[in-house]
């Protein structure tokens, strides 16, 4: 799921990755919104708020929204920087390090006291945006830009285009490709929504600690990927 790249990557790999990380993004999106009243998985809205504050000459608040945008950007930058650096040392850990960093950030925020969160809402928002920038860049890199998991605008655009193409592309190979792509996009949308609902109800029950569910999912995925890699390696070794 995390290790396969390029030609070795299949639709099934992308589907698993999309399901997992879009669910995590949904949890972060809604729990972050409940906790700090800020968008924490994408920057589209923050650009609008940034422009609005500049027009009102409210430069101090405008800088805050600019910092949100920069935090997401830095997350994406650091994610790919780590991937490129690690690929030159040991490709086995090429995606584990960015995921591990995301886990650490979410784990840290999950254990912050409520008064601390209320006093540092902008800092918490920046941390969550950085984590989502990490995730979005990593999944984009792994899937060759096929999967994105932290926002839905582009997904609904692509889904609308592809559904309309079903009326015109009638060859079996074209139809098969379209159905696979549509299935992937619907999966991401569903799990993002499911993660959002889970994050919302979870926040009402246990507060920001619902982020531990996201941490557990990401940790479990890394363990699963490691065990599967070991099993495949052992099979190859004994089949020689």
Confidence (pTM) = 0.89
User: What pLDDT score was predicted for residue 168?
Assistant: 87
Tell me if 137 is assigned to some domain: yes
pLDDT digits (tens, 9 = 90+) for 88-130: 877 677 778 889 999 999 999 999 999 999 999 999 999 999 9
Q: What is the pLDDT of residues 137-164, one digit of tens each?
A: 888 888 777 777 777 888 888 889 999 9
Asked if the structure places residue 14 within a domain, the reply is yes
Q: What CATH number does residue 72 fall under?
A: 1.20.1250
Query: Is residue 238 within 8 Å of residue 133, measured between CB atoms?
Result: no
Residue 34 is part of which domain span? 6-239
Residue 1 covered by a domain:
no
Please report the pLDDT score of residue 95 as a whole number: 76
**Is residue 124 situated within a structural domain?**
yes
Domain assignment present for residue 155? The answer is: yes
Which residues of the chain carry a pLDDT beneath 50?
A: none
What is the number of structural domains in the chain?
1
Burial class of 12 by CB neighbour count within 10 A (0 to 12, 13 to 18, 19+) = exposed
Amino acid 51: pLDDT: 93
Output the pLDDT for position 151: 74
On whether residue 68 sits in a domain, the answer given is yes
CB neighbours of residue 171 within 10 Å: 8
Tell me the angle at which helices 211-239 and 11-36 cross, rounded to the nearest 10 degrees.
Answer: 160
30 occurs within a structural domain: yes
| Other residues' Cβ atoms within 10 Å of the Cβ of residue 205 | 9
**Residue-level pLDDT at 34:** 95
- Domain-embedded: residue 60: yes
């Amino acid at each position: 799921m995390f290790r396969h790249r390029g030609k070795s990557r299949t639709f099934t790999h992308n589907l698993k990755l999309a399901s997992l990380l879009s669910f995590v993004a949904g949890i972060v999106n809604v729990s972050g919104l409940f906790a700090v009243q800020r968008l924490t998985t994408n920057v589209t809205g923050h650009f609008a708020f940034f422009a609005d504050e500049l027009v009102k000459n409210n430069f101090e608040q405008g800088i805050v929204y600019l910092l949100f945008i920069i935090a997401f950007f830095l997350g994406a930058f650091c994610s790919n920087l780590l991937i490129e650096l690690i690929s030159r040392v040991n490709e086995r850990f090429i995606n584990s390090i960015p995921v591990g960093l995301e886990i650490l950030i979410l784990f840290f925020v999950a254990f912050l006291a409520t008064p601390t969160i209320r006093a540092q809402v902008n800092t918490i928002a920046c941390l969550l945006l950085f984590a989502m920038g990490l995730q979005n860049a990593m999944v984009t890199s792994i899937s060759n830009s096929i999967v994105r998991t932290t926002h839905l605008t582009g997904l609904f655009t692509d889904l609308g285009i592809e559904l309309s193409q079903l009326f015109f592309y009638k060859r079996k190979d074209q139809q098969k490709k379209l159905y696979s792509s549509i299935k992937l996009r619907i999966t991401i949308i569903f799990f993002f929504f499911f993660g959002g609902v889970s994050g919302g109800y979870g926040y009402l029950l246990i507060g920001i600690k619902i982020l531990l569910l996201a941490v557990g999912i990401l940790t479990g995925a890394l363990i699963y990927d490691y065990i599967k890699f070991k099993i495949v390696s052992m099979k190859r070794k004994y089949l020689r």
